[in-house]
Amino acid sequence: MDGPAGEREPSAARGGESAGAGGSDLHTLVVGRDAMACRFEIVFNAGAVPDATALAVEALDLVDEIESRITVYRDESALARLNAAAADGWQPVDADLLSLLLLARDLWARTGGAFDMAAGSLVRTWGFLRRQGRTPAADELARARDAAGMRHVEIDEAGGRVRFTRPGVELNPGAIGKGWALDRAIELLRDRGVVDALVHGGSSSVRARGVHGPGLPGRRGWAVGVRHPLRPGRRLATVFLADAALGTSGSGTQFFIDRGRRLGHILDPRSGLPAAGVLSATVIAGSAAEADSLSTALYVLGPAGLATVAPAGGDAAAILVVPGAAAGTVRVLTANLPEESWEIEPGDGVEFVAADAAAPRPPGRMAGG
């Protein structure tokens, strides 16, 4: 994802400024802050929300507060304390963290383990926890694989407590945490009466509400660009989000080279090895947490996973980019993506293939208007 289409890059906008978009009637107010090792930004239609800057600061404060509870980089966080103690027995968790773990368990089951929040032992073993990738020894990888998996996490929903069934289990929210925070931020804005807004984290996770610009006939939510994974300055497509979220997964920036092989940071939790064969995976869903985790699962599963992640008539859609037949070309596979919810960006070396016939979708899911 490369930000609201027609605007300057979100990371270039500064809090409190009004940024002119491509259309003469599209003007935005963007307020941003660094969190979760990326840039979070709240985008409003300029002049549409009283006290917009103060509301954005409140939403960003909430993101900071969520990060303080679910990060694995601070020993005092609620998630770090749970990782340290849950193998010893039941540990109480607050309602918000319990909800996150329940969602993560559901998504793990839905994807057949391709998304797994309990794969932290693998992330650590491959060195990606500190962004220092390395290939582990076979016995080290086997131990990490044995300790990975939501199958080792027991959740007592009624009692509000969690335990691990074996030592060495680590929960890591890397593929769901940003989306979870965006969902909480958009809920806060909604509760404050905001009708139209877009929030994103690191440009790979985005959640939109309402429409960009005046509510005129033909408006289709917020236009969000999907980047070409081999040519970062180029877009493959534009997706129109209204009351929906988009997440994109790829290993374009986090990888290392081992004996001539390029190994990315997205791991297949089932094998314990880096996923391969996909350039990028984008999922559109009702929540940012779902979009982020499902895009990670689709990156792991590849084309065979389209029917699992985005079945026809289901509540998610997908755009999967894989290498084309010739060097430097790509194939773009789509699933359950209604025609009115996106536009192709023309260009050479790109082949678009519909993996299914997109079923009609009720209004207000991906495209507005």
Reported as a pLDDT band with limits 50, 70 and 90, residue 173 is very high
- pLDDT reported for residue 347: 87
| Res 132: pLDDT | 66
Is residue 202 a part of any domain in this protein?
no
Q: According to the model, what pLDDT value does residue 244 have?
A: 97
Quick check: 2 pLDDT over 80? no
Report yes or no on 154 lying in a domain.
Answer: yes
Lowest mean pLDDT, pick from 23-27, 184-188, 204-208, 257-261: 257-261
Among 29-43, 124-138, 139-153, 273-287, name the one with the lowest average pLDDT: 124-138
Question: 3-class DSSP state for residue 12?
Answer: helix
Q: In the block, which residue shows the tokens 């998304």?
A: 115
Alpha carbons 42 and 326: distance in angstroms, whole number: 40
Residue 84 lies in a domain: yes
**52-106 pLDDT per residue, tens:** 999 999 999 999 999 999 999 999 999 999 999 999 999 999 999 999 999 999 9
Alpha helix positions (H), the chain: 52-70, 78-85, 95-110, 120-125, 138-147, 177-191, 288-301, 306-309
Tally of structural domains, the chain: 1
Identify the weakest region by mean pLDDT among 40-54, 100-114, 131-145, 323-337: 131-145
Average pLDDT of the chain is 87
Pick from 26-35, 133-142, 267-276, 336-345: least confident: 133-142
Contact 366, 244 (CB under 8 A): yes
Residue 122 in any domain: the answer is yes
Yes or no: say if 188 and 199 are a contact pair by the CB < 8 Å rule: no
Per-residue model confidence (pLDDT) at position 139: 93
Q: What is the pLDDT of residue 257?
A: 56
Q: What is the CATH number of the domain that holds 112?
A: 1.10.3980.10
Q: Which domain holds residue 136?
A: 78-164
pLDDT value, residue 86? 98
In a domain, 195, yes or no: no
For position 252, what pLDDT does the model report?
57
Please check whether residue 128 lies inside any domain of the structure: yes
Residue 366 token pair: 């991906």
- pLDDT at res. 158: 98
pLDDT of 157 higher than 50: yes
For residue 138, being part of any structural domain is answered with yes
Query: Region 208-237: what's the mean pLDDT?
Result: 89
d(CA 198, CA 175): 20
Selection from 12, 96, 16, 10 nearest residue 56 by Cα: 16
53-67, 140-154, 205-219, 321-335: which range is least confident on average? Answer: 205-219
Is the CB of residue 83 less than 8 Å from the CB of residue 101?
A: no
By residue count, the chain amounts to 369
Q: Which residue, 63, 36, 302, 34, is CA-closest to 173?
A: 36
Q: Report the alpha-carbon distance of residue 366 to residue 318 in Å, rounded.
A: 12
| pLDDT in the model for residue 355 | 78
Q: Which of 63-67, 251-255, 343-347 has the highest mean predicted lDDT (pLDDT)?
A: 63-67
For residues 199-219, average pLDDT:
88
Residue 174 inside a domain? The answer is no
Position 361 scores a pLDDT of 36
pLDDT given at position 250: 86
